[in-house]
Amino acid sequence: MNFFDIDGFLYLLFFSVGAIIGSFLNVCIVRMPRNESVVFPSSHCPRCQAAILWFDNIPLVSFLLLRARCRACRQPIPWRYFLVELLMAGFSLWTYARFGMSWALVPALVFVAGLIIASVVDIEWRIIPDEISVGGMWAGLALSYIFPALHKGPASGILGAGAWVAVILAAVCIALYLFRMFQHKLSLEPWDRNVLLLGALFLAGQWGAFTLASLFPCCHAGLFALADALQGAVIGACALWFTGLVGEIFISKRIVTPYDFKGVVEDPEGLLKSLERDGYVDAQGNLQPAFRAVKTAAGLRLPPGCEAKRAEIFEGIQAVDEGGVMGWGDIKLMAMAGAFLGWQLVGLAFFIAPFFGAAYGLIKIIRKQDTAIAYGPFLALAFIVCLYWGEILLRRITVMYGL
């Protein structure tokens, strides 16, 4: 590759810009789970709080020159910072090589950046920030209309099929959800009503965008892409929600992990050991009948130092008892992916992701660890596969089955 010609310059440019974006992703990864601003204060060492000077904040380069240590306190800098910058730089370069100088670059890079944040935070905290999943979903819908190239102009027949798949899948999920409410004697909370209302608006919106595309040919591409994005958000979310609902109805095991208390108490593992000693969970974290005998937070036995967080701890364990098979963060991440990829590719990702997750889960079983896993990174791997090779895989599948 000759870096003195225009192609070489563009490759170098995208790699450099990707590294800069990766530096900002590190800020999001550290601050979002703590509900801190990603803008203020400026970059500083989390240990000694010393401000990081501009020449110590050059992506990739500064980490190597400082030998992975803070200039002020000489404490180690986690390698994650370097790896996130390198990963985003590599994906930026790869995305340019895959899509060229097309408008598909914009939504593709935004999507990949969101997946990196979601994956790293999910690994460390077992949560996916709403700023990424929900905010990313709205960004995906807007970018699909503004930059429809990523959706490749889905045919009207494909959109028609997607519309019916979305309606049927949503109806099945609602039926299962109502059955689960009856099974556990739950009431419909305001948050649940908002989710159902938003889903109904998305279903109506996809029909509206599809209809408007036929009435206004000048906006044909953007409206078709928007319809595909709305279908993708509904189908992606409902596909994973369906899996979770089936699990919650038929699987009785509820596993509590230290991640359920991360950010709540200083020593999540110590709290879990205390819960085990008091018979609320077993050695693997499986919830025991002793907890269900506790009716209020006041009746929960807790170690010293956890009293101030009694209500949060009790509510956290209750949340595991009522569900715990599929997190809402994963469901919202699927909705985000559907908005970017469309209904066909997010459906393909739904079937690919378990192969990644199953391999890791099998390792945990062999090592006799708890079987609860952060599913977000495996979903992200499946989304990456579909972003870059999804169309090829779909063509091969249709040829294989003569469709």
Residues 6 or more apart whose CB falls under 8 angstroms from that of 372 comprise 255, 257, 259, 285, 324
Residues 6 or more apart whose CB falls under 8 angstroms from that of 85 comprise 19, 22, 23, 25, 26, 59, 60, 63
The more confidently predicted of residues 139 and 123 is 139
Q: Residues of the chain with pLDDT > 90: what percent?
A: 42
- Terminal alpha carbon distance of the chain: 41
140-162 pLDDT, tens digit each: 999 999 999 888 766 667 888 88
- Cβ atoms of 334 and 348 closer than 8 Å: no
This prediction has a pTM of 0.85
246-301 pLDDT, tens digit each: 877 776 556 788 877 877 788 888 888 988 888 888 887 788 888 878 878 888 88
Question: How much is the pLDDT for 348?
Answer: 96
